[in-house]
Structure 1
Amino acid sequence: MSASPMESGPSPEIEIRGRTVRTDEARRLIEAHPRVARARLEVRRSPSGNGAADRLVAHVVPEGPSAAPAAPEAEEKRVGDWNRIYEWVYGDMAQAGGLGDDFVGWHSSYDGTPIERSQMCEWRDATVDRVLSLRPRRVLEIGVGTGLLMAGIAPHVERYTATDFSPTAIARLRAQVADVEWGDRVELLVGRADDLSALPASHYDVVVCNSVVQYFPNARYLAGMVTAALNLVRPGGAVLIGDVRNLRTLPAFRTAVMAPQLPVDPVRARAAVELSAYTERELAVDPDLFAAVLAASQDGAALDLRVKRAVHHNELSRHRYDALLYRAPLAAPAAGTDPVELGWGEEVADIEVLEKALSALPGPVRVSGVPNARLRQEVEAARLLEALADRDRIVAALDGAPDAPDPEEFHALAERLGRVAVLTWASTGAPDLLDVLVLPGGTDGPVAAYRPADPSPEDVSRYTNDPTRSAAAAAFTAALASELAATMPATLLPDDFVAESDGRH
């Protein structure tokens, strides 16, 4: 996203709490600080109209790289913070459902309410089905949590090993599996995702890490875990990194979440969303990261990356995806590498036209640039925000009907024709665009649907945000306020400092 304009307001002077502040002089003194690139000042008026409660706020862009790699101590602190949070959650939570049905803690980011049970079951079942479609005998799950996936997979395999960094979670699951008939095939271990050294190499058919990587501290940590996991699966086996938050759709997601509370002023509204995305506390990952990790791995053979199967439209189906990485050698080449190419809006205009085209094309067919009904409104809202549209237009865009096909329509079409559809993110264009690959019925094994734009194994940090920025921003503004208080006249010193994004992710 582009940076917000750094302006001091329409007047070179601001009246606040009985004093006159020359904004150009205050800004000059703030920008003279070596860690400040740009600054702007504004008055935050009290909602009650009490002028004595008004605040002078300095919005500052830090000097230097906006995405510097996290220091080892910051990385360790990040992992430790999540560990403490989940130790408390698992220790405090009451049993809300049977094994595999405990959805406590799954709340919507849009309104804070629990996500409907039917939607959570759909989300869980889609991942269970994906794992079982690989026909594994030995499975390892990294980050088992409350056992949502384990309960659906373990009864169908010979051995299920699961780890979690929470001793409380593992103790809870051990007590639960003791009462089920398949409990003797389950092994539960306390362990971190970045230390898999105690597990046997080339042993598992599938390694699963689902809805976990958003708690990782950075791209390097994620890439290291994926590389280590590939070493644990047998040749031809697969590593499923599931429920990954998409970095490309993060601006649209934050726009939708914040829309009802956005400031009326368009510049402030855009700055608020940019700051929210910039300081996002969970790891969001560009799909190209997995292509980069695969390219750097001696064990990697194929990447099968797909959007999630779901009838319901929610943040899980809109903004998350699954990456399946296969270890070499493969029994057969990945499917879909040489399809007939069609463009949405060019050779194909709608589902009916596509159905007619497929009737004449029995082999693999790729349809590129397909708009995604799940995301259409949020991406349009983000576009309006970027263009400084007013808040009412942004909210109206979110409430409108999407002018796009639902992803599940392509699966239904393929099933009618006895074919298989695989949907993945388009590597270029707007973040709501998909590529649809239609394959002959019975296609098995990896599918080369995703086409990375620019995989760069040398620098995986470019493919994620930095979840440590939130804490870093707070530390930066606190230090800046303290240092400027010692050098600036009290009449010019802002009451509050807010760090803003420079527009780079």
Structure 2
Amino acid sequence: MSLFTQPGHASTADLLMDDPRVAGAASIETSGHRHSVRVLPDPRWLEAQTRHASVAASRSLLGWQSTHDLADRVPQRAPQPGLDGWADSFTGRPPSDGAMRVWLDAIASRLLALPHARVREIGCGTGLLVRELATHCRVYEASDVSAVAVSQLRAWLATRDDLRHVRTRRQPAHEGGGAAAGFDLVVINAVAQHFPDADYLRTVLDAAWRDVAPGGHLVVGDVRLLGLQSTLVAASTLARAPGGTPVHALRQSIHATWLAQSDLALDPAFFHRFASACGASVAVRLKPGDDALEMMRYRCDVVLGKPASAQAVSLPAASLDSVEALRGWLAAGRPGRVLLRAQPDARLAADIAAHRLIASAVDSMLVREVRRLVALQVVADRPASGPEFFHNIPLPYQVPRGAGGSDPAAIAALCAAQGCSTMLLATPYAQDARFDLLVERHAAGAGTGQVPDLQPAPDSGPLDDPALASHPLLLQSLRRLSASLYNELARLLPEADMPARILPVVRRDQLIHGAP
């Protein structure tokens, strides 16, 4: 007999409320499935976790170094850079070599389009970018916190006579280039997501910025976009779920996936504010193309430019809010620059539709039905209607509106046909896959086709704004709380009464609706 069916015994949520770390708890009862429990931590406990954030950050950095030392120490591995070690969130499997090549070519071409005679790379790993860039550079300095990675890179470099000019150092990301400063290009690619918090990233950026020569650039590549993280978690969990999974179970899996996140994600406004503070120009550039790879659709490359002493700062662009307004500007034929703002990105239409649908679907809907409705919405870009669309789907239900969006490549092609150059940018503060497009038409005889100049920083404000970054250390604390509470319950309850999951939340309303 279940302990909870006996008179006088508390529920799981009641038992958890006796813990001083818990301010709220709610059981999630689902027919035919073991219950789960959402818990809201006590604010004093959360405050204590924040006070110890610096210690946690140091431990996180040490853990990151150890993890990468182990990952790079592969027995009998050929001492050369490789594309292994990546996984796609939607499949759980490594991307194909072709897809990874597209990703690598995109960042390499973006970097080589900037001045690059003297380059410093922070977080070089075993030399993936060294292989792509160093032959084009006069000076190349590569550093990494992992001794194993640096050792393997040195062994490979020893086999390349054409790369004798590459210097390697083992050092953490926040240490600058020292006497060798004055680089045309400083690169931090596919590294920032491993930093424990935005404060440490700011420390790294400050040191890296000091190494940039006037007229040079600091590029932070492969940055996770904060506003897309909830969509990524929902859509990727949906993609991996069995078709017969009911939505109520899917939501719990999404919550668990959110708790497991360890990557630092950032809003474009974080870099706008950093640029404003240090007098830089800035472009938070989305990845090009319509590739299905998560690494191309959910990430961006940040380019920060340091003006030369006599260099004029580019004028800010006038804002446009629709493609129709852009067409009017193009038809006028005048030189200048405009910024098309906050357009819904068609490349992420299916994932946005999935995220919205999961949030509003009835608990008994199945994953296969969610997928079918998402496909119908993306194809039709309108609510499906009629009984043929709702076979075996609980009614009433409406497919979410607004999932279509604009194709940025098509808009860029329209501009190119009018002799304009474009730059695809991430929209600050956007939560639903928006993009900006910077469009520039040069005066007659000035040439066309080049990438527009970077913009002056459009936003100023404090960099310690918690809304501008995710909080991996907080999620780490919530995971520890979940494990601790589960172990304590296991001492009190028989196996039959144990919850399937204990899912911490950060707001009281999430006790009902879940997270993120």
Q: TM exceeds 0.5? A: yes
Tell me the SS of whatever aligns to 1:92.
Answer: coil
1:146 is the counterpart of 2:122: no
Q: Under a length normalisation based on structure 1, what TM-score does the superposition of the two structures give?
A: 0.82
- Call closer, same or farther: CA 1:388–1:39 in 2, change over 3 Å: farther
Deviation (angstroms), 1:215: 0.8
Deviates more, 1:412-421 or 1:77-86: 412-421
Partner of 1:8: none
In structure 2, stretches of 5+ residues that fail to align are 380-402, 442-447, 508-514
Give the partner amino acid of 2:241.
Q
Q: Give the RMSD, CA atoms, in angstroms.
A: 3.4
Partner of 1:285: 266
Give the partner amino acid of 1:85.
T
Deviation (angstroms), 1:42: 4.2
Separation (CA, whole Å) in 1 of partners of 2:55 and 2:133? 37
Partner of 1:431: 432
Report the identity percentage.
25
- Call closer, same or farther: CA 1:451–1:331 in 2, change over 3 Å: same
Deviates more, 1:492-501 or 1:434-443: 492-501
1:475 to 460, 475, 480: 480
1:136 to 110, 116, 121: 116
Aligned residues: 470
- Call closer, same or farther: CA 1:268–1:311 in 2, change over 3 Å: closer
2:58 to 76, 97, 106: 76
Partner of 1:10: none
Separation (CA, whole Å) in 1 of partners of 2:205 and 2:230? 26
Deviation (angstroms), 1:141: 0.2
Give the partner amino acid of 1:360.
G
Partner of 2:388: none
1:502 is the counterpart of 2:478: no
Separation (CA, whole Å) in 1 of partners of 2:30 and 2:350? 31
Give the partner amino acid of 1:447.
L
Partner of 1:7: none
1:127 is the counterpart of 2:107: yes
Partner of 1:249: 228
1:171 is the counterpart of 2:151: yes
Deviation per CA, 1:68-126, whole angstroms, max 9, x where unpaired? Answer: 47622211221222222221221116657x955x2112222111222122221121112
- Call closer, same or farther: CA 1:23–1:328 in 2, change over 3 Å: farther
Deviation per CA, 1:382-436, whole angstroms, max 9, x where unpaired? Answer: 1222224544453235544473343333343344333211111223555211111
Partner of 2:325: 347
Q: Under a length normalisation based on structure 2, what TM-score does the superposition of the two structures give?
A: 0.80
Deviation (angstroms), 1:46: 8.0
Q: What does 1:476-491 align with in structure 2 at a 5 Å threshold? A: 476-481=481-486
Separation (CA, whole Å) in 2 of partners of 1:162 and 1:491? 53
Deviates more, 1:61-70 or 1:371-380: 61-70
Partner of 2:471: 466
Partner of 2:372: 396
- Tell me if structure 1 keeps the 8 A contact 2:194–2:264: yes
- Call closer, same or farther: CA 1:330–1:344 in 2, change over 3 Å: farther
Deviation (angstroms), 1:158: 0.7
Tell me the SS of whatever aligns to 1:149.
Answer: helix
Deviation (angstroms), 1:335: 3.8
1:180 is the counterpart of 2:160: yes
Deviation per CA, 1:124-155, whole angstroms, max 9, x where unpaired? Answer: 11211222211221100001113221112111
Give the partner amino acid of 1:294.
A
Partner of 1:410: 411
Separation (CA, whole Å) in 2 of partners of 1:112 and 1:94? 25
- Call closer, same or farther: CA 1:42–1:305 in 2, change over 3 Å: closer
Partner of 1:448: 455
Give the partner amino acid of 1:164.
D
In structure 1, stretches of 5+ residues that fail to align are 1-14, 48-54, 349-353
Higher helix share: 2
- Tell me if structure 1 keeps the 8 A contact 2:224–2:300: yes
- Call closer, same or farther: CA 1:232–1:211 in 2, change over 3 Å: same
- Tell me if structure 2 keeps the 8 A contact 1:164–1:170: yes
